[in-house]
Amino acid sequence: MTTTTATTARPLTHNLGYPRIGEKRELKKATEAYWAGKLSRAELEQVGSELRRKNWETQRAAGIDLIPSNDFTFYDQVLDTSCLVGNVPPRFGWQGGQVDLDTRFAIARGVRKGGNNNDGGSAAAAKDACTCSKDQGDSADAQAATYASEMTKWFDTNYHYIVPEFRADTRFALSATKIFDEFSEALALGIRTKPVILGPVSYLKLGKVQDSQNPSFDRLSLLDSLLPVYAQILQKLEALGAEWVQLDEPIGALDLDDAERRALSTAYAALTTAAPKLKLLVTTYFGALRENLETYLALPVAALHLDATPRGDLKEIERVLAELPADKALSLGLVDGRNIWKSDLAALLPRAQAAAAKLGTGRLLLAPSCSLQHVPVTLRNEQKLDAEFKGWLAYAEEKLSEVATLASALGGQADEAALTANAAAIKSRRESPRIHRPEVKARTAKVAPSDFDRASPYATRRLAQRGANGPLATLPDFPTTTIGSFPQTPEIRAARLRHKRGELGTAEYEKFIEAETLACVRFQEEVGIDMLVHGEYERNDMVEYFGEQLDGFAFTEHGWVQSYGSRYVKPPIIFGDVSRPAPMTVRWSAYAQSLTKLPMKGMLTGPVTVLQWSFVRDDQPRRDTTFEIALALRDEVRDLEAAGIAAIQIDEPAIREGLPLRRSDWAAYLDWAVNAFRLSAAGVRDNTQIHTHMCYSEFNDIIDSIAAMDADVITIETSRSNMELLGAFVNFKYPNEIGPGVYDIHSPRVPTVDEMVKLMRKAAQVIPPENLWVNPDCGLKTRGWAEVRPALANMVEAARIIRAES
Ligand code: GLN
Ligand code: ZN
């Protein structure tokens, strides 16, 4: 059954989107091989069509009635939308007609000098240039002759989309057949899909104006010329035999203004008129609609999909059930599409039943809350997880079965075996001593207000640290340091892999890492850095390394999700109460400190970043989990101090990306996020210097919270903004020390002494010079030694010059 029939007693099931990466990451392998010139265009297309077929058939087998199409993409669905409507930035020289695959890749990845986009994967490597998850993508590639479009986070997920660019003279025209081809392709397999498109208003809202002549151009004014193209698309889909079309308008979860709300009403009035026989399903997810609710309820469409997980607002759903116009169906996104946990069906079923009782099953659809692209593909291939743990999980494929189980129970055909098994798994998770550890809960319960505060205010601490008797008394003005990691060479990666596979013994591996660390320490001494780091050679990843050593974390073999393009991440799973069985970094920091008289900076990943870059448990507030991590880190910080480490950096690059979608929710989040950092840091003596690092530079709207973290030193990214982004700190009169990055580590280019001197002079004009540090923008992990050596030598020289001037 793939089409609607009025006779089904159970509600229709549907899915908003399925992961396209393939259960063995087939898409990554194929696209990268294509970019490297090792796979032909036809072979790549073949992999794509195989993946689509498999996905459709999986969804059909799972019992999904309305299966999505056009959710597949070789790079990004927002980019596909730009291509569909013919919005290719002029610099790519597209002449109209069909936007082909190589143009898509060019927009996403930039074009290298010589115009060859088949680059042997090197542009993909350039995308790794920063260790932050929110990187600038290939656009950061200084070699690119035509720079790529920007990339940004898709709402508060870790998926990044290609930002549409709009200009006053942007005109739209139907310019791709992908959405039609995929519909027909599925139809040939006997599946009448529900094509998915990003809705016109979200498309405009999520893009940005890139028009030097008209920088304040209102992109919403493009709606009038965009709508006819959408109308054409719908009419064509209708002609091909589509019954339902899904239009994603997730901006409903954002703060909208009246004009944006009006645009939604205008758009759907027009689209419904254009294709009156099609059933339009407008979706929104990731949060409640709040003041946008009335607008969405009034859209003249066949059905509305809402996020019915706790991320939405369960009260709001009740209101919707009461107020939904009689001509509209409601799709409830009950199964969480953003985590990897099995749903508690016994808890969801009554909610689905209540909805069915209000609306009738004919007006109800059941679905995951959002596209399943944010979760891994299937649990089938996870061979190494123990049965109990695996029983707690549901990836995309398993979530579909949950939706189907709910629907059949509503239709009076409950799958008792499935419901019983689900209840047993939920019970085991609720009660497992692997998850619930009374000693951890006792400790978080005992956290006192004073635990968040350093013993003395910053001014006192500064004297204790850098004053005549302080451990950091020898630091000069404008001290130089780095952010932590040094180049992770192929040899280091190979050694780690061999160690992981058991081919290299732990003693030998550690010897190897010690040798690398020693060389790194000697290099820093020779080049003249003032505060050293050990280089982070022992770490694969700044979260995984800690997760592997903390209790309460688990790792999967196949838990991959797409971050952008061909880059996927495999986040750890925080499943239980977190604690630290043993010191995690002390051995490496103490070893590195033993090699030098210069101060060695300890290096930790902060609690919010660990949380943000993991799959998080859904059975307690995020705040509670973060505090558990913070307490574990607090012990580590103290152990580092006891081991003679006088400065400790706690990286928090993810604080900003954790900001809620709605402004009015920011304060509550920032309050606990800042407190978690303080809890991790505040256990040390006055004379221990706490650093933090954030690799971005938009601080204006959160500067008071950044200041409230009360780190003795903060290092941030500023080189690309020419220090302008220091403004937030200047206006705030930020009192503590600050290291504005002077070396753009996203680029392989070696910065000159002169440009770094100029940047520091600019900084010294607005920040008290005695508070300034000199450092790169971020870690050097993905750079090569050939660039790092001269770049740091220049940075040290720049510091000398600026010191002599002041
Ligand atoms: N200490 C880390 C490094 O240098 C910081 C990485 C980050 O900010 N993302 O790699
Ligand atoms: Zn960084």
Q: Which atom of ligand 1 is nearest to the CA of 603?
A: 1
For residue 652 and ligand 1, the question of a CB distance below 6 A is answered with no
Q: What is the pLDDT of residue 724?
A: 81
DSSP β-ladder status, 208-209 and 194-198: unpaired
- State in Å: Cα 746 to ligand 1 middle: 13
Q: What is the pLDDT of residue 114?
A: 60
Residue 135: helix, strand or coil by DSSP? coil
> What confidence category does residue 144 fall into, taking pLDDT thresholds of 50, 70 and 90?
low
d(CA 609, CA 620): 18
Residue 650: helix, strand or coil by DSSP? strand
771 has pLDDT over 80: yes
For residue 174 and ligand 1, the question of a CB distance below 6 A is answered with no
Q: What is the mean pLDDT of residues 505-526?
A: 98
For residue 533 and ligand 1, the question of a CB distance below 6 A is answered with no
Ligand nearest to the CA of 535: 1
Report CA 491 to chain centroid distance, whole Å: 29
pLDDT digits (tens, 9 = 90+) for 715-746: 999 988 888 878 899 999 999 999 999 999 98
Q: What is the mean pLDDT of residues 36-60?
A: 98
Q: What is the pLDDT of residue 720?
A: 84
- State in Å: Cα 3 to ligand 2 middle: 49
Element (H, E) at 410: helix 396-410
Q: Which atom of ligand 1 is nearest to the CA of 133?
A: 9
For a substitution probing ligand 1, which of 648, 781, 783, 788 has the most ligand atoms within 8 Å of its CB? 781
Q: What is the pLDDT of residue 132?
A: 53
- State in Å: Cα 691 to ligand 2 middle: 13
Q: Ligand 1, atom 5: nearest CA belongs to which residue?
A: 779
Helices 506-527 and 785-805: crossing angle in degrees, nearest 10, is: 40
Q: What are phi and psi of 308, to 5 degrees?
A: -110, 25
Ligand nearest to the CA of 537: 1
Residue whose C-alpha is closest to residue 369's, from 436, 288, 459: 288
Q: What is the pLDDT of residue 143?
A: 52
Q: What is the pLDDT of residue 112?
A: 78
| The token pair that represents 679 in the structure block | 């809890």
Annotated catalytic residue, options 14, 534, 558, 746: 746
- State in Å: Cα 133 to ligand 2 middle: 9
Q: Ligand 1, atom 10: nearest CA belongs to which residue?
A: 779
Q: What is the DSSP string of 254-281?
A: S---HHHHHHHHHHHHHHHHHSTTSEEE
Count of alpha carbons within 13 angstroms of residue 250, beta-carbon side: 21
Helices 785-805 and 753-766: crossing angle in degrees, nearest 10, is: 50
For residue 778 and ligand 1, the question of a CB distance below 6 A is answered with yes
- Interior angle at CA 163, CA 668 and CA 223, nearest 5: 100
Residue 436 is assigned to a ligand binding site: no
For residue 653 and ligand 1, the question of a CB distance below 6 A is answered with yes
803 has pLDDT over 90: yes
Q: What is the DSSP string of 575-644?
A: EEEEE-SS-SSHHHHHHHHHT-SS-BEEEEE-HHHHHHTSB--SSS-HHHHHHHHHHHHHHHHHHHHHTT
pLDDT digits (tens, 9 = 90+) for 291-304: 999 999 999 999 99
Residue 717 is assigned to a ligand binding site: yes
For residue 131 and ligand 1, the question of a CB distance below 6 A is answered with yes
Residue 158 is assigned to a ligand binding site: yes
- State in Å: Cα 649 to ligand 2 middle: 12
Contact yes or no for 426/565 (Cβ under 8 A): no
Contact yes or no for 650/604 (Cβ under 8 A): yes
Q: What is the dihedral of CA 183, 185, 188, 192, to 10 degrees?
A: -20
| Angstrom distances, CA of residue 478 to CA of 526, 742, 745, 791 | 18, 12, 20, 17
Q: Which atom of ligand 1 is nearest to the CA of 483?
A: 4
Report CA 322 to chain centroid distance, whole Å: 35
- State in Å: Cα 468 to ligand 2 middle: 31
For a substitution probing ligand 1, which of 128, 130, 131 has the most ligand atoms within 8 Å of its CB? 131
> What confidence category does residue 120 fall into, taking pLDDT thresholds of 50, 70 and 90?
very low
Q: What is the pLDDT of residue 135?
A: 43
DSSP β-ladder status, 165-166 and 208-209: parallel
For a substitution probing ligand 1, which of 158, 481, 483 has the most ligand atoms within 8 Å of its CB? 483
138 has pLDDT over 60: no
- Integer-rounded Cα radius of gyration of the chain: 27
Residue 510 burial (CB count, 10 A) = 17
Name the burial class of residue 617, with classes exposed (0-12), middle (13-18) and buried (19+) by CB atoms within 10 angstroms of its CB: buried
In the chain, the percentage of residues whose pLDDT exceeds 70 is: 95
- State in Å: Cα 104 to ligand 2 middle: 29
- Which pTM does this prediction carry? 0.94
d(CA 415, CA 535): 55
d(CA 650, CA 606): 5
Residue 658 is assigned to a ligand binding site: no
> What confidence category does residue 119 fall into, taking pLDDT thresholds of 50, 70 and 90?
very low
- Interior angle at CA 788, CA 782 and CA 790, nearest 5: 160
Q: Ligand 1, atom 3: nearest CA belongs to which residue?
A: 779
127 has pLDDT over 70: no
432 has pLDDT over 80: yes
Look-up of token digits 């920011």: 666
1 has pLDDT over 60: no
> What confidence category does residue 179 fall into, taking pLDDT thresholds of 50, 70 and 90?
very high
What is the overall mean pLDDT for the chain? 94
Q: Which atom of ligand 1 is nearest to the CA of 130?
A: 9
Q: What is the mean pLDDT of residues 367-379?
A: 98
Q: What are phi and psi of 755, to 5 degrees?
A: -65, -35
Residue 534 is assigned to a ligand binding site: no
> What confidence category does residue 263 fall into, taking pLDDT thresholds of 50, 70 and 90?
very high
> What confidence category does residue 437 fall into, taking pLDDT thresholds of 50, 70 and 90?
very high
d(CA 112, CA 126): 12
Q: What is the pLDDT of residue 101?
A: 96
Name the burial class of residue 15, with classes exposed (0-12), middle (13-18) and buried (19+) by CB atoms within 10 angstroms of its CB: buried
Q: Ligand 1, atom 4: nearest CA belongs to which residue?
A: 779
pLDDT digits (tens, 9 = 90+) for 221-241: 999 999 999 999 999 999 999
d(CA 410, CA 388): 28
358 has pLDDT over 90: yes
| Angstrom distances, CA of residue 671 to CA of 39, 450, 452, 500, 623 | 51, 15, 12, 39, 10
Q: Is 746 a catalytic residue?
A: yes
> What confidence category does residue 113 fall into, taking pLDDT thresholds of 50, 70 and 90?
low
Element (H, E) at 26: helix 26-35
Length of the chain: 806
CB within 8 Å of 385: residues ≥ 6 apart = 393, 554, 556, 557
d(CA 77, CA 161): 8
Q: What is the mean pLDDT of residues 24-28?
A: 98
| Angstrom distances, CA of residue 182 to CA of 26, 66, 577 | 19, 15, 45
126 has pLDDT over 90: no
d(CA 749, CA 743): 9
For residue 342 and ligand 1, the question of a CB distance below 6 A is answered with no
Q: What is the mean pLDDT of residues 21-43?
A: 98
